[in-house]
Amino acid sequence: MVAHADLDTVRSAAKEFIETISAELRELSLQLHAHPEEGFNEYFAHRLITEYLARKPHIHVAPSKDKTMVTAFVATFDHSASSAGGASYGQDAMTTIGFCSEYDALPMGHACGHNLIAISGIGAFLAATHLAEHFDLPVRLKLFGTPGEEGKGGKINMINAGDFADVDFAMMLHPGNIDLAYPTYLASMHIDVEYFGKEAHAASSPWDGVNALDAVVTAFNAIAHLRQQILPTDRIHGVITHGGAAPNIIPAYTRAEVMVRSERQDHLQENLFPRVMACLESGAAAAGCTMKSGTEPMYADVVTNVPMTDVYARELLVQIGVDVGDPHEQRSVSRGSTDMGNVCYVAEIHSEEFLAHAKNRRKKRTTRRCSAWRASLWWPTRS
């Protein structure tokens, strides 16, 4: 049966199925938008999504193998197809395809549109389960509920726990203000740094003080000079989050946050990050302060599967008339960082940005349509 199903038939089947669940997806999105929750606190979102998936046939919903990630989940669907001759495909012969949903919010709410990322993953996953059953395809499908993308690296924890261990390739949609299929996402590290000095009155006895503000200012000046000698694809930016209490008091404590990014994670780890740390340490040495620093989990760069993305871009054009344009122009502009990059180092990935705003009916329609052609995308690549 598989051999005789043409691509147009698959496209139609995916679109028709998405239409049957479009109202459900919209309601999920609106509920998520109305109940924003920041990273690792997505209790409402987790309950809403997992209860919805549990009502669908043949889908098993389980927690992450990382038991500390209580708002993460993995939904699995297996279909062992039979060939025309009656032989059954074994579990080892199955391709495992992953879809990712995010649902954490920013302090201001779902300004990054993770409610749309959630429903796009759900829609594509469910449509793919329908295609697998309808066309009798041997496949294992997984939907990963990945909390804490905004700076907390939820996917990294899930990778380390083994949730992504058997995935052959994975996909995710991300809202943006233009249509992209080949975006550049940089590897990134987030540094928290604190300087400790000695308080003194700045007018009566400044010589008794050790100025922690001098330490952080000197460090930032050193970073400014470092920027002259870094690669065009490197980025360093930071803010002073605590600079002192009053101008007539020499600060005994200051704090800053610095983000360091590069095109590849190996260059970030081996070259740029150590140089930035040297700048931060030089500030402490110059001012006579002590320093304490810590880092968040590194977000790896996104390495897009180009052949699969070529098919994806073609289907986007054929099915909904969107031309994503020149891949080289898209790659020339960096789009920030995401922990989806870490997934690509354990599974081939495709990540796409599309025109969407978090509470717009037309954009939700675009999300649902994207889910349909994401579900049918792997048909011409299933070899």
Checking if the pLDDT of 375 tops 90, the result is no
233 CB-near residues (< 8 Å, 6+ apart) = 186, 262, 263, 334
> Which pLDDT belongs to residue 370?
52
Lowest mean pLDDT across 169-183, 308-322, 328-342, 368-382: 368-382
Domain membership flag for residue 383: no
At residue 357, the pLDDT reads 41
pLDDT class for 215, splitting at 50, 70, 90? very high
Regarding whether 290 and 196 lie in a shared domain, the answer is yes
| 382 lies in some domain | no
Q: Which of 266, 295, 324 is the last residue of a domain?
A: 295
Question: The pTM is what?
Answer: 0.87
Most confidently modeled range among 34-43, 174-183, 341-350, 371-380: 34-43
pLDDT score for 246: 97
Under the phi-then-psi rule, with left for phi > 0, alpha for psi from -120 to 50, and beta for the rest, what region is 20?
A: alpha
pLDDT band at 294; cut points 50, 70, 90 = very high
Residue that finishes a domain, picked among 242, 262, 295? 295
Residue 253 shares a structural domain with residue 316: no
Same domain, 127 and 264: no
Provide the domain count of the chain.
Answer: 2
- Do 12 and 110 share a domain, yes or no? yes
Q: How far apart are CA 223 and CA 279, in angstroms?
A: 6
Say whether both 73 and 197 belong to one domain. no
Task: Please indicate, yes or no, whether residues 32 and 52 belong to a single structural domain of this protein.
Answer: yes
Q: In a 3-state reduction of DSSP, which class is residue 148?
A: coil
Q: How many CB atoms lie within 10 A of CB 293?
A: 15
Contact residues for 72 (Cβ-Cβ < 8 A; gap 6+): 46, 63, 64, 66, 144, 145, 146, 147, 154, 157, 158, 163
- Average per-residue pLDDT in the chain? 89
Cβ atoms of 97 and 169 within 8 Å: the answer is yes
SS3 readout for 181-234: CCCECCEEEEEEEEEECECEECCCCHHHCECHHHHHHHHHHHHHHHHHHCCCCC
For residues 291 and 328, the model is more confident at 291
Q: Do 240 and 322 lie in a common domain?
A: no
Q: How far apart are the first and last CA of the chain?
A: 16
Could you tell me if 206 and 349 lie in one domain?
A: no
* 198 and 173 part of one domain: no
Query: Could you say which DSSP state residue 109 is in?
Result: B
pLDDT at 179: 87
Using the predicted structure, report yes or no on whether residue 354 has a pLDDT greater than 50: no
Question: What average pLDDT score do residues 149-174 get?
Answer: 95
Q: What are phi and psi of 239, to 5 degrees?
A: -140, 150
Q: Which of 262, 295, 328 is the last residue of a domain?
A: 295
Q: Would you say 377 and 198 are in contact if contact means Cβ atoms under 8 Å apart?
A: no
pLDDT in tens, 302-311: 998 899 899 8
Task: Kindly state whether residues 28 and 94 are assigned to the same domain.
Answer: yes
CATH number at residue 212: 3.30.70.360
Find the domain containing 251 and state its range: 187-295
CA distance 16 to 28: 19
Is-contact 105 43, C-beta < 8 A?
A: no
Q: Are residues 246 and 348 in the same domain?
A: no
Residue 308 sits in the same domain as residue 355: yes
* CATH number of the domain residue 337 falls in: 3.40.630.10
